[in-house]
Structure 1
């Protein structure tokens, strides 16, 4: 299957079979810590719409301050490349295009800014996209995959 949303590494290929259900510029402290980026372009997919094939993956908590939280960072067992975030509740899988081997330009532009607050110590984004303290208000978490 050909998909504009495919990433991964030489050992594990990650491919989306549908469009993202959410696409935002993340300002959360966890993304900052994990990626080292000021903001991070993040795309949520329904859980079964993002698949990994090939080699083995290792899993570790995405949020070191909440190791029992729902998201796990999946990395290649061979080379350590970041591959995707996987939701233990099977609602979503997450791609970070510029970190996980994707062609970032193939992804639609982020439609809003998420998890911004005044305590971040920098100006509120003013690029015309909405800015929220969390996910966009109309976002609904999908039902868990079977």
Structure 2
């Protein structure tokens, strides 16, 4: 069966047939530390919209080393170590980083820049998309499941 969005690795497959609830380029220090990228294309889905075929094979670790009890966990494949998703312990969202988690980004284009901090000395993004110090102002976190 074909799905709208698919990703994962050879051992664990994920998919969603629903559109994401947020899609941005992240400039936060946590994403930079975890991915090694200057900025990270991040896609939020409602938690129940991302299906994982073998959740028992996920290895979970805190996403933010400075906040190990925080709500997000980085889930990697227990066999090959590929990052699969970020899972929210409060069951609000699941997060996909398309270029690291097997998704194609062509149909998941980021609509804005999030967590841009001019104090870092990095130039302000100038690609025409809005730039925010956090998530877009109209973003509303889904309720916990």
Q: Give the TM-score of the pair, scaled to structure 2.
A: 0.96
Deviation at 1:103, TM superposition (A): 1.6
Residue 87 (str. 1) matches residue 88 (str. 2): yes
Partner of 2:57: 56
Deviation at 1:81, TM superposition (A): 0.5
Deviation at 1:144, TM superposition (A): 1.4
Residue 101 (str. 1) matches residue 79 (str. 2): no
Give CA-to-partner distance per residue, 1:107-146, whole Å, 9 cap, x none.
Answer: 2x1110000011222111111111000000000000112x
Query: Does structure 2 conserve the Cα–Cα contact (< 8 Å) formed by 1:84 and 1:94?
Result: yes
Unaligned runs of 5+ in 1: none
Residue correspondence of structure 1 range 4-19 to structure 2 within 5 A: 4-19=4-19
Unaligned runs of 5+ in 2: none
Give CA-to-partner distance per residue, 1:15-44, whole Å, 9 cap, x none.
Answer: 112000000000000100111101110000
Give CA-to-partner distance per residue, 1:70-101, whole Å, 9 cap, x none.
Answer: 00000001111000000000000000000111
User: What is the root-mean-square deviation of aligned Cα atoms in Å?
Assistant: 1.1
**CA–CA distance in 2 between the matches of 1:141 and 1:101?**
25
Give CA-to-partner distance per residue, 1:26-69, whole Å, 9 cap, x none.
Answer: 00001001111011100000000011113600100000000000
Query: Does structure 1 conserve the Cα–Cα contact (< 8 Å) formed by 2:4 and 2:18?
Result: no
Residue 76 (str. 1) matches residue 89 (str. 2): no
40-49 or 120-129, which moves further after superposition?
Answer: 120-129
Structure 1: 4+ residue segments shifted above 4 A: none
**CA–CA distance in 1 between the matches of 2:59 and 2:12?**
11
**CA–CA distance in 2 between the matches of 1:69 and 1:10?**
29
Q: Give the TM-score of the pair, scaled to structure 1.
A: 0.95
